[in-house]
Amino acid sequence: MRVSIVTINYNNDEGLRRTILSVRNQSYSNIQYIIVDGGSKDDSNEIVQDNIGIVSDYICEPDNGIYDAMNKGLNHATGAFCLFMNSGDTFRDKNSLELLVQGGKLSLPTLIFGRAEIQNTNNRSFFLPGKSVRINDLWLSKYSPNHQSILFPKEFYKNERYDTSYQIAGDIDYIRRAINFCEGRYCFIDDVVVVFGLGGVSNSFKPWSKLNKQIAESIRVKRSYFGLTSMGKYWLMIKFYIKNLFAYLMGRRFYSSIIWLNKLKSR
């Protein structure tokens, strides 16, 4: 069973090096490895060329944002499943992909996912979903698996693309569409399969204009898939503003510890 892995990169040569090494070291070898680079100015191209033996498709050109780049990767994907392992993300162990693929033997389109380890700026690790959280139909109806830990079935991804009108929440929107497409069929691998660091577009310090964009997109997703009352809308806005106020007043180390703890509690 072939698995397409898509890595999005832009000026993150060291992160790209870690991700490529992680893919190379997997015990599961039936991989189509797709790298989409937005036209990096650092050593990313040289790193890809040094590892071209394991790279099936390499697209290096400007894009219109992360979700446009992900769609370019999907246009080249041919595997029975597709997984997004972006620059800097790594598999937890050498057999992590093999663990995920074991869940892909069902005859109907199935969403396969495991747990993810997040390392914050204090080098502390948290786990999403939390290790004590029981994954069942009720949980999946309210929450979304971690994006990097998901195998999307070909029956879904071959006709579905990321909504590029999102700048931040497009991955959550894509996951919820996949869940609906699979009609509740999922396979949860109760193991940590991926590791990624705190950072990125949804967890960085930002001007108020971007914060307001993040709030608007979160409200849009919650309205579309979870339902959102007026009270829930205002409570969501308050939580976002409080989070960023703490980030501004207390600094990134405090921020990174508190925010991920809150995420664990919410799941």
Identify the domain boundary among 151, 174, 197. 197
Q: Which domain holds residue 253?
A: 208-266
Q: Which of 167, 197, 227 is the last residue of a domain?
A: 197
Cα–Cα distance for residue pair 133/127, rounded to 1 Å: 10
User: Side chain identity at 38, as an amino acid letter?
Assistant: G
Tell me which amino acid residue 33 is.
Y
Give mean pLDDT, residues 80-84.
Answer: 97
Residues 185 and 83 in one domain: yes
Are 180 and 219 members of one domain? no
Backbone angles phi, psi at 55, to 5 degrees: -95, 120
What pLDDT was estimated at residue 234? 61
Q: Name the residue with higher pLDDT: 120 or 114.
A: 114
What does the pLDDT read at residue 248? 57
How does pLDDT run across 200-229, given as a tens digit for each residue?
444 444 556 667 777 788 778 878 877 766
Cβ count within 10 A of residue 236: 15
Q: Please name the residues in contact with 218: beta carbons below 8 A apart, sequence gap of 6 or more.
A: 168, 169, 236, 240
Question: Is 48 a member of any domain?
Answer: yes
What are φ and ψ of residue 59, in 5° steps? -115, 120
Please report, as a single letter, which amino acid is at residue 251.
G
| Domain contains 203 | no
> Residue 42: is its pLDDT beyond 90?
yes
pLDDT > 90: percent of the chain: 58
pLDDT of 171 > 60? The answer is yes
Query: What CATH number did the domain enclosing 180 receive?
Result: 3.90.550.10
Is 202 inside any structural domain?
no
Structural domain total, the chain: 2
* pLDDT tens for each residue of 88-115: 999 999 999 999 998 777 678 999 999 9
